Amino acid sequence: MSEPPDHDGHDHDHDGHDHDHDGHGHEDNEQVADLSGGETVQLSVPEMDCPSCAGKVRNSVQSLDAVDAVDAQVTTGTLTVTYDTDSATPADVAERVEKAGYTVESGVGETTETFTVPGMDCPSCAGKVEKALDAVDGVATYQTQPTTGTVIVTYDQSHATTDELTHAIENAGYEVTETTASGDSSGSDVAATESVWRSARAKKTWVSGGFVALGLLFEFLLGGQNVRVLSGPVAFTLADVLFLLAVAVGGQEIVRNGYYSLRNRNLDIDLLMTIAISGAIVVSLVFGEGLYMEAATLAVLFSVAELLERYSMDKARNSLRELMDLSPDEATVKRDGQEVTVPVEDVRVGDIVVVRPGEKIPMDGEVVDGESAVNQAPITGESVPVDKTDGDEVYAGTINEEGYLEVQVTSEAGDNTLSRIVEMVEDAQANKTEREQFVERFAGYYTPAVVAFAVLVTLTTPFALGVAWEQAIVYGLTLLVLACPCAFVISTPVSVVSGITSAAKNGVLIKGGNHLESMGEVEAVALDKTGTLTKGELTVTDVVALNGNSEADVLRCARGLESRSEHPIGEAIVEHATENGVGKRSIDEFESITGKGVRADLDGEAHYAGKPGFFEELGFDLSHVHAVTDGGVVTQTSRRLCERNNCLDLLEDVIPDLQSEGKTVVLVGTEDELEGVIAVADEVRPEANAAVSRLHDLGVAHVVMLTGDNERTARAIAEQVGVDDFRAELLPDEKVESIRDLTEAYEGVAMVGDGVNDAPALATATVGVAMGAAGTDTALETADIALMSDDLSRLPYLYELSHDANGVIRQNVWVSLGAKAALALAVPFGLVPIWAAVLVGDAGMTLGVTGNAMRLSRLTPTRED
């Protein structure tokens, strides 16, 4: 949590999803979508960074009768409200947020601005910012993002200015380090993370800690020097004064935040700590119980816990910052015959960008000059650099390894592939998982229950357990500390952030925490054949020369015959012949014979290419054809298929055998002689078999291949890659029906396709995964998860990451909750000192769940996958 007053955002955030008037929150998006006739405003409240903060904001906003729905997103610091325009305005909503103690940084208007607010690092902080922004006239919507430390505000420039918004945020207790008008930056920013231990609050904490150390010194080690310095109705020793000074210095931020929480009737950690510290001092002054040391210890340790929480959030922010830092800030552009260096924001579509060896490519574009190998790992996760030459597409943030390139820019800085990935990763944090929603609902009951237990323990332990009233009060204060649900509230979102950003660095774009959770629980995976299990491009796989011809002779004739054909098979043959340096032959009288093949005169002699049946019609005996030997040694295909080493039975052996491997057979010859056999196939990806095997090893119960291809080809591919089942000759609607059948048989189904042709099936599955989405806008927009490269090994990595993320989330939730429950139950028996409640129950749990979540970043794809 940050320095500013905690709004109730945390507790309310949980409730806010149910009450969200704005409908901005993802959890309430469906609810808002059902509302009609209302206006939606999104407000950026950076200080609303914990469930407690969100609760304050939600309660305050819901006091407006015109509000229909409220969604407070603590992970983004955004408040979305749907309201009746006849009874309220955005300014009214913003005012309610500010009355909750939070600054509203954005609202309705003609411009959008991003504010960098490093101190806004928890939902409670975000709630305070939202409240402050609500009080600014002209603010239409805002989005607070504690995980990035940014606030995005939309406002009417005729009613508000950037300075006013900045002032409002800073009045909520958070420093604005940078503002960027919409359109002036290539992407969102992430708050800096270096200064947490040198912040103003940190300095106050260290000073306060010094006073506590001195007080403990005089209290326990230098008792003789612990003289009474003040006398009267209440006497103060030197140690007492030092403890009170520690509270005065270290408790400022706590009390200020607690004030905002109380004003908005939000029972959050700031209010609880304020009550605990104030209660200890009041009891000491009124009853002479001497709890100054406990009050000072609470103030210092809680401040330390807040700093540790800020540090933990910085760890999550760093993962996002690493993504955003991939793209350079400047580009070298050719203009008026000269090379000039300009900010990437000033580069226009159509500009020629110069990229030298070792430099990052600043913009998406197309190579117009030069050749080089480009490291695309930042975008696609591919470990091997990809050769680029004229006409090839390149992406911003990728690295030019060795050559000189000139790239024509094809998209604006804020609209390139990397920018879209970063934006989607940020947006994905707002899509709450089911576990996150459960935790937030639970937190709404947890805090009141523990507070009630604290009151009960304080009032009953003197009678039931015979403890002194002073000790009973300490027990109660200790339980108030444990009433904060922050550790298990952040346990899920921090895991989601870690998992999604780790995936993005490895070429997998996950569009939301809900999809991350769902992918880890699927029991069946359906794979499209073309373009997924196979490369999606026809290639020549076999050339069998016959009757004394060489492979080059066969390809030369085939190239001539197919050079005028527009059929994909013909294009594959021509490309293969060209790659092998086979020359051309003059062609005349070309004729395409529909459904059979082609005919043409090559160098004046009639030649044919086509299906086996076409050659049977021409009168050829395909059961006895002489094969070619190489230096007296029969070719491998001939030896395998022919008993006499110089004769092939094409009709019974060769053709069926090739077709059983999923290949299409083309015969080439003249009117009198068969010259050869060419087999063409959509080549299976080399990693397909290992990927399917790895999915089985990881626990996927059923892997099925779906294809519109014929059953013979489908069976051959299915056997080659090792899937459990296949379904062939499917139309698009039949693929959808197959997904529905799988969904009925298994708990969850992931469909993997190209993101375009398979869109209906992807949408029907529990999780839709698009392959090779880096250059496909449609796939990026429509799929739940996108594999940025054409590397199928990313699929088992995705499943493993998602499965591990679910495990981490479960561990974080139940360990943090169990630890707090155990500590709470041990308090009445004197087993938990108040310092342990702060360091273990609050700061320790926060660090623990964050560190556990960060383990996900260590998981990487392996080629064995």
Q: Annotated active-site positions, please? A: 528
The helix/strand/coil state of 402 is coil
Sign (positive/negative) of CA torsion 251, 254, 256, 261? Answer: negative
In which element (H, E) is residue 760 found?
helix 759-764
Question: What are the DSSP calls for 237-289, one per residue?
Answer: EHHHHHHHHHHHHHTHHHHHHHHHHHHTT---HHHHHHHHHHHHHHHHHHH--
Which of 291, 292, 297, 295 minimizes the C-alpha distance to 468? 291
The helix/strand/coil state of 387 is strand
Provide CB contacts within 8 A for 669, sequence distance 6+.
Answer: 607, 608, 615, 620, 675, 676
Amino acid at 600: A
Q: Are strands 524-528 and 749-753 parallel, antiparallel or unpaired?
A: parallel
Ramachandran assignment for 507, one of left (phi > 0), alpha (psi -120 to 50 degrees), beta (any other) = left
Number of Cβ within a 10 Å radius of residue 468:
11
The helix/strand/coil state of 802 is helix
Which of 429, 533, 630, 446 minimizes the C-alpha distance to 14? 446
Number of Cβ within a 10 Å radius of residue 634:
18
CA distance 485 to 451: 12
Which runs of E-coded beta strand occur in 336-452? 338-343, 352-355, 365-370, 372-375, 386-388, 393-394, 399-400, 405-409
- For residues 201 and 3, the answer to whether their CB atoms sit within 8 Å is yes
Provide CB contacts within 8 A for 661, sequence distance 6+.
Answer: 679, 681, 716, 720
CA distance 143 to 845: 28
